[in-house]
């Protein structure tokens, strides 16, 4: 919305209106957490981090650090023995007796400046006794592996998560359907492979930052960059025994999250540090290096997957084991393994399935949610095997997918009926957009060209009952504020909230403001801005709140006119009667009501609409089989196809075009959907080349943006062809479902399939690199 | 720490300041002058979120010492729009939906602005090269590149506080 152009958009749902936040973000006004000014009372904190991947803490001496002029306090794990966690409460806020990864916070120093705090961290003396460490999930599940969490059986855990105490397995999800053993002999083609993905980092441009203030009265305020203000209130309040009403989480704009700012990462540290210097706000901001060490990472995966089909190309059986390298704490990661378990086939109908999905502790950075939540990891192998099966039986890879992919009302692997979607339409769109199957000439003799396709599904992975709520309040001029608890991370949640409120009320889009920053003291409850759930669930709450306000307005005006509310409507900010053709502008009446005849009293008053939404229909799944009536709320599905060239002299890949199409139910803002699709395709492309690397002691090697490269402006594809189909979601607002994460899920396997098309070479392990491809062309393998 | 008296012009306003030797221009802008539109993404010159114009050239303000800016003209993202009127470049970012989380946006705008000042009609490759130091994780860059192309076609930068056109 530019101030220079006054506009008036009626019925904004389905229109590509400008973002509500665009002006502030283009002029430097938009406030991020580190931009909030706290004045001279502010203290700064830095963390002392473990130099060992696995060790016992024998002794911590803080006296030298405390002697540094300007140091106000040093806090250690002994001062903060609390555990915290989303689904499994397994994580220390500051390490107690044991550190489990390089970089784990063991103490925090608070001082009058960041530089003094940093200097004093070097004077905190910590004596460690090193323990044997384990870095890979396959090594960690061995009986003789060092046990990372001897107390696993004691931790508080969600009812649907099943750790295996006495082992390093923090969650084991089992999916059993049909009988795989009897199905293998009937298969005309079987492909089996082991696929490995490394840990990768979200790399939001804004590093993690929190400012915490613990007042002597016991009131605690946390200003932070987070996707999860309300979830943080709940988790931190529970962990630190703060009454929920005394903990206020304030979160302005978030400079990118991608899952890395979901749940609780470093924020509880800031709160326990502030507890030591009551009355002073304490700012803890992570450096870029710490982002690669001390936040959550996408988990690594070792997938052992076997799939078979008959001669006509019908999938018959799948057996798969997923071992997620969850890092040192799996408090959130356990649910990634569960999600990968109940969606283990990818978007396919397979009558016989045996799937096991585990998250496994390792002595590496904490694994956690990242855009796609387990789906990019499992689709990497599945989508390559599907191509290989199609090739074996001589079928076109797109046709193979059309035949086997999930369709509306299919009974899927968990026994749930598939809500309405159209994945075939997505396949058709991308296939056509890149002329899949049509051989095209490379741009030079030393280059080879190839095309590939991959499809995906993903359900919001969350507890069964995460709720949303919204409030609509008016100003005298009938402009209105929509209050939500959903966060704006760049995806456009504030914009679609404004569109939906305007549409449901019957006022122009430009009349709506979104109440921000999100502040748990004032903003209505929202579980978290994760799982691509916001457009759907927040949208339902906003729609309900706006409809509630609309109903109140119509009743007042109907009473005033002596008409039936059912004969009235609100159009462009005016109440109109289809019967008497009267008009009543909303201005003033939404605050002051309307006078009765001859001013004999008044009707109405300030209008406040409220709405909420919570899915109530998700059921439990059987522990032994993963079967149940309704595993998830719904799935979003989509297809991507890639056209690329490989330079055979260098191994360099150039992506010429990515076509990408998803079934979004209803595009509330079509251009924002396309912006997600494009940005996600580039994120997905980047993810194929990214890897956190560690030395033999578990120390991260590439802890900077120079050593850990993400795609830049010169690397992007020449063209991204974004598209969508709209099969309405039964309980979505105007039929909408989420699409924010899905858009990067299958880009890496689509690239792998295109490379195979170009070279006839398969890569089972990520990351891809020019070096790896070049060596493979020479018939060599890269050592890792 | 030795302190230095410096004069810096930021978005057209002269500022007289006393700064320590090790203070960066980024710290000066964000922490002393509260020009928080300029962002800190890495403190190491790797991400470009802190890009500002220094005497007309884009610099990573995290790599410039405040004392080096003595006598310099600095333009931050706050200095682009004039009295609420967006520049053609900013308008093109609205048109192309080239903003998502907005954290890289200030630095991207400054780099693109500097490009258009020195090269009003850049090729696509020239735009990509000018932005290679500005990382963006949300947009995938294409819309940013298209926005710069549109701004180049529309031609007017409207940067009154810098004294240019």
Which structural domains are found in chain B, ordered by start? 3-77 (3.10.20.30), 88-154 (1.10.150.120)
Q: How close, in Å, is residue B153 to chain A by CA atoms?
A: 20
Q: How close, in Å, is residue B129 to chain A by CA atoms?
A: 6
Instruction: Tell me which residue of A234, A274, A229, A233 sits closest to A253, measured CA to CA.
Output: A229
Q: How close, in Å, is residue A637 to chain B by CA atoms?
A: 21
With contact defined as beta carbons under 8 Å apart, do A586 and A574 qualify?
A: yes
Show the tokens assigned to A605.
């008053």
Q: What was the pLDDT predicted at A7?
A: 81
With contact defined as beta carbons under 8 Å apart, do A330 and A164 qualify?
A: no
Show the tokens assigned to A677.
């699709």
Q: Residue A514: CB partners within 8 Å, gap ≥ 6? A: A20, A481, A482, A484, A488, A494, A497, A498
Show the tokens assigned to A645.
């060239």
The span from the CA of A608 to the CA of A613, in Å, is: 17
Question: Taking CB atoms and an 8 Å cutoff, what residues of chain A touch B99?
Answer: 19, 21-22, 25-26, 490
Question: Taking CB atoms and an 8 Å cutoff, what residues of chain B touch A22?
Answer: 93-94, 99
Question: Taking CB atoms and an 8 Å cutoff, what residues of chain A touch B40?
Answer: 34, 207
The span from the CA of A71 to the CA of A43, in Å, is: 9
Strand-pair partners of A570: A575
The span from the CA of A319 to the CA of A302, in Å, is: 14
- Contact flag B105-A679 (C-beta cutoff 8 Å): no
Q: Give DSSP secondary structure letters for A341-365.
A: HHTTT-SB--SEEEEEEEEEE-SSS
Question: Taking CB atoms and an 8 Å cutoff, what residues of chain A touch B91?
Answer: 2, 4
Q: Which residues of chain B have pLDDT under 50?
A: 160-165
Give the burial class of A439: count Cβ atoms within 10 A of its Cβ; 0-12 exposed, 13-18 middle, 19 or more buried: exposed
Q: Chain B, 57-96: which have a CB under 8 Å from a chain A CB?
A: 76-78, 80-81, 84-86, 90-91, 93-94
With contact defined as beta carbons under 8 Å apart, do A748 and A456 qualify?
A: no
Q: How close, in Å, is residue A135 to chain B by CA atoms?
A: 28
Of A741, A771, A778, A781, which residue is the catalytic one? Answer: A741
- The maximal CA–CA distance of chain B, rounded, in angstroms, is 49
Which residue is it, tokens 């009355």?
A279
A488 is catalytic: no
With contact defined as beta carbons under 8 Å apart, do A719 and A656 qualify?
A: yes
β-pairing, A247-251 vs A518-519, is antiparallel
B19 touches chain A (CB under 8 A): no
Cross-chain CB nearest to A682 (options B41, B131, B141) = B141
Q: Which residues of chain A have pLDDT under 70?
A: 1-6, 782-784
Question: Taking CB atoms and an 8 Å cutoff, what residues of chain B touch A490?
Answer: 99-102, 138
Question: Taking CB atoms and an 8 Å cutoff, what residues of chain B touch A712?
Answer: 131-132, 135, 141
Question: Taking CB atoms and an 8 Å cutoff, what residues of chain B touch A4?
Answer: 84-86, 91
Q: Chain A, 32-61: which have a CB under 8 Å from a chain B CB?
A: 32, 34-35, 37
Q: What are B85-113's pLDDT values in tens digits?
A: 999 999 999 999 999 999 999 999 999 99
A720 touches chain B (CB under 8 A): yes
Q: What was the pLDDT predicted at A606?
A: 98
β-pairing, A367-368 vs A55-61, is unpaired
Q: How close, in Å, is residue B70 to chain A by CA atoms?
A: 23
Q: How close, in Å, is residue A519 to chain B by CA atoms?
A: 19
- Contact flag A21-B102 (C-beta cutoff 8 Å): yes
A683 touches chain B (CB under 8 A): yes
The span from the CA of A78 to the CA of B161, in Å, is: 54
Q: What was the pLDDT predicted at B83?
A: 87
The span from the CA of A356 to the CA of A137, in Å, is: 14
* Candidates A34, A713, A715, A722, partner chain B, best to mutate (most B CBs within 10 A): A713
Cross-chain CB nearest to B137 (options A2, A27, A683) = A683
Q: What was the pLDDT predicted at B161?
A: 47
Q: How close, in Å, is residue A138 to chain B by CA atoms?
A: 32
Q: What are A340-373's pLDDT values in tens digits?
A: 999 999 999 999 999 999 999 999 999 999 999 9
Q: Give DSSP secondary structure letters for A427-471.
A: HHHHHHHTTTT-----SSTTEEEEEEEEEEEE---S-S---EEEE
Residue B22 has what DSSP assignment? T
Question: Taking CB atoms and an 8 Å cutoff, what residues of chain B touch A711?
Answer: 140-141
A205 touches chain B (CB under 8 A): yes
Q: What was the pLDDT predicted at A145?
A: 98
Q: What was the pLDDT predicted at A6?
A: 53
Q: Chain B, 89-148: which have a CB under 8 Å from a chain A CB?
A: 90-91, 93-94, 97, 99-106, 109, 127-129, 131-132, 134-145
- Contact flag B37-A34 (C-beta cutoff 8 Å): no
With contact defined as beta carbons under 8 Å apart, do A307 and A317 qualify?
A: yes
Cross-chain CB nearest to A27 (options B77, B101, B140) = B77
Q: How far is CA B146 from CA A354, B92, B139, B142, B152, in A?
A: 48, 8, 12, 6, 10
Cross-chain CB nearest to B86 (options A2, A206, A705) = A2
Q: What are A606-648's pLDDT values in tens digits?
A: 999 999 999 999 999 999 999 999 999 999 999 999 999 999 9
Residue of A nearest to B35 (CA): A28
Q: What was the pLDDT predicted at A780?
A: 84
Q: What was the pLDDT predicted at A3?
A: 36
Question: Taking CB atoms and an 8 Å cutoff, what residues of chain A touch B50?
Answer: none
Three-state DSSP class for A599? Answer: helix
Q: What was the pLDDT predicted at B155?
A: 78
* Candidates A25, A115, A293, partner chain B, best to mutate (most B CBs within 10 A): A25
The span from the CA of B49 to the CA of A203, in Å, is: 13
Show the tokens assigned to A303.
């997938």
Q: Chain A, 227-256: which have a CB under 8 Å from a chain B CB?
A: 253-256
Three-state DSSP class for A301? Answer: strand
Residue of B nearest to A25 (CA): B102
A702 touches chain B (CB under 8 A): no
Give the burial class of A595: count Cβ atoms within 10 A of its Cβ; 0-12 exposed, 13-18 middle, 19 or more buried: middle
């Amino acid at each position: 919305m530019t101030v220079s152009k006054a506009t008036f958009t009626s019925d904004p749902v389905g229109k590509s209106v400008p973002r509500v936040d665009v002006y502030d973000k283009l002029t430097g006004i938009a406030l991020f957490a580190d931009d909030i000014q706290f004045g001279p009372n502010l203290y700064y904190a830095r963390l002392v981090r473990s130099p060992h991947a696995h060790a016992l803490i024998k002794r911590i001496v803080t006296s030298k650090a405390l002697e540094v002029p300007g140091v106000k306090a040093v806090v250690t794990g002994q001062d903060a023995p609390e555990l915290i966690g989303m689904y499994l409460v397994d994580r220390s806020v500051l390490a107690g007796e044991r550190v489990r990864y390089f970089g784990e916070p063991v103490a925090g120093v608070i001082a009058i400046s960041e530089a003094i705090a940093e200097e004093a961290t070097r004077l905190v003396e910590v004596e460690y006794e090193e323990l044997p460490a384990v870095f890979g999930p396959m090594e960690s599940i061995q009986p003789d592996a060092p046990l990372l969490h001897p107390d696993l059986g004691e931790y508080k855990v969600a009812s649907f998560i099943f750790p295996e105490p006495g082992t390093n397995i923090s969650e084991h999800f089992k999916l059993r359907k049909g009988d795989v053993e009897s199905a293998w002999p009937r298969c005309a083609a079987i492909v089996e492979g082991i696929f490995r993905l490394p840990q990768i980092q979200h790399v939001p441009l804004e590093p993690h930052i929190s400012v915490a203030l613990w007042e002597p009265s016991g009131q605690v305020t946390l200003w932070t960059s987070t996707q999860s203000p309300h979830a943080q209130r709940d988790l931190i309040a529970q962990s630190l025994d703060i009454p929920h009403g005394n903990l206020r989480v304030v979160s302005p704009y978030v400079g990118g999250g991608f899952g890395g700012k979901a749940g609780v990462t470093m924020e509880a540290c800031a709160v326990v540090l502030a507890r030591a210097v009551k009355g002073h706000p304490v700012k803890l901001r992570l450096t870029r290096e710490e982002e690669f060490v001390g936040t959550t990472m996408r988990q690594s995966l070792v997938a052992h997957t076997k799939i078979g089909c008959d001669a006509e190309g019908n999938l018959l059986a799948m057996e798969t084991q997923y071992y997620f390298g969850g890092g040192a704490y799996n408090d959130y990661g356990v649910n990634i393994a569960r999600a990968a378990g109940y969606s283990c086939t990818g978007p396919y109908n397979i009558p016989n399935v045996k799937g096991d999905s585990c998250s496994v502790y390792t002595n590496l950075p904490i694994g956690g949610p990242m855009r796609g939540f387990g789906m990019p990891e499992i689709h990497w192998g599945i989508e390559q095997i599907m191509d290989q099966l199609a090739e074996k039986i001589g079928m076109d890879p797109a046709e193979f997918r059309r035949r086997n992919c999930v369709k509306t009302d299919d009974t899927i692997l968990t026994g749930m009926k598939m809500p309405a979607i159209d994945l075939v339409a997505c396949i058709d769109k991308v296939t056509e957009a890149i002329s899949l199957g049509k051989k095209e000439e490379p741009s030079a003799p030393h280059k080879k060209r190839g095309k590939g396709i991959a499809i995906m599904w993903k359900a919001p992975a969350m507890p069964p009952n995460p709720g949303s709520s919204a409030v609509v309040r008016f100003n005298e001029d009938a402009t209105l504020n929509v209050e939500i608890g959903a966060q704006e991370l760049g995806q456009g949640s504030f914009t679609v909230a404004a569109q939906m409120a305007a549409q449901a009320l019957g006022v122009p889009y430009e009349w709506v403001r979104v109440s921000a920053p999100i502040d748990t003291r004032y903003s209505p409850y929202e579980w978290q801005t994760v799982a691509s759930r916001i457009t759907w669930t927040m949208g339902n709450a906003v729609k309900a709140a706006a409809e509630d306000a609309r109903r109140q307005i119509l009743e007042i005006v109907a009473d005033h006119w002596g008409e039936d509310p059912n004969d009235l409507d609100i159009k462009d900010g005016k109440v109109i009667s289809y019967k008497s053709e009267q008009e009543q502008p909303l201005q003033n009446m939404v605050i002051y009501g309307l006078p009765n005849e001859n001013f004999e009293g008044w009707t109405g008053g300030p209008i406040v609409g409220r709405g909420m939404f919570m899915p109530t229909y998700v059921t439990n799944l059987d522990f032994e089989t993963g079967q149940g009536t309704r595993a998830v709320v719904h799935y979003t599905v989509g297809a991507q196809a890639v056209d690329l060239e490989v330079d055979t002299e260098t191994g360099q890949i150039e992506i010429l075009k990515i076509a990408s199409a998803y079934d979004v139910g209803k595009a509330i803002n079509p251009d924002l959907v396309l912006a997600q699709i494009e940005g996600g395709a580039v994120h997905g492309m980047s993810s194929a080349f990214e890897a956190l690397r560690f030395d033999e002691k578990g120390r991260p090697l590439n802890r900077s943006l120079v050593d850990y490269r993400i795609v830049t402006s010169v690397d992007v594809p020449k063209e991204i062809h974004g598209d969508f189909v709209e099969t309405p979601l039964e309980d979505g607002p105007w039929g909408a479902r989420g699409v924010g994460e899905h858009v990067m899920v299958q880009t890496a396997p689509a690239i792998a399939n295109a490379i195979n098309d170009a070279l006839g070479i398969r890569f089972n392990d990520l990351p891809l690199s020019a070096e790896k491809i070049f060596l493979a062309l020479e018939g060599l393998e890269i050592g890792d | 720490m030795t302190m230095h008296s410096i004069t810096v012009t930021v978005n057209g306003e002269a500022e007289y300041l006393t700064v320590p030797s090790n203070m960066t221009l980024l710290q000066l802008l964000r922490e002393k002058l509260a020009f928080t539109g300029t962002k800190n993404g890495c403190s190491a010159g790797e991400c470009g979120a802190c890009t500002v114009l220094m005497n007309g050239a884009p610099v990573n303000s995290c790599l410039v010492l405040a004392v080096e800016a003595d006598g310099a003209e600095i333009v931050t993202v706050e200095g682009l729009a004039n009295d609420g009127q967006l520049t053609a470049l900013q308008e093109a970012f609205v048109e192309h939906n080239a903003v998502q989380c907005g954290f890289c946006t200030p630095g991207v705008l400054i780099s693109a602005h500097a490009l258009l000042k020195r090269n009003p009609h850049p090729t696509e490759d020239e735009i990509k090269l000018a932005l290679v130091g500005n990382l963006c994780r949300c947009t995938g860059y294409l819309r940013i590149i298209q926005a710069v192309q549109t701004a180049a076609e529309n031609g007017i930068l409207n940067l009154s506080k810098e004294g240019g056109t």
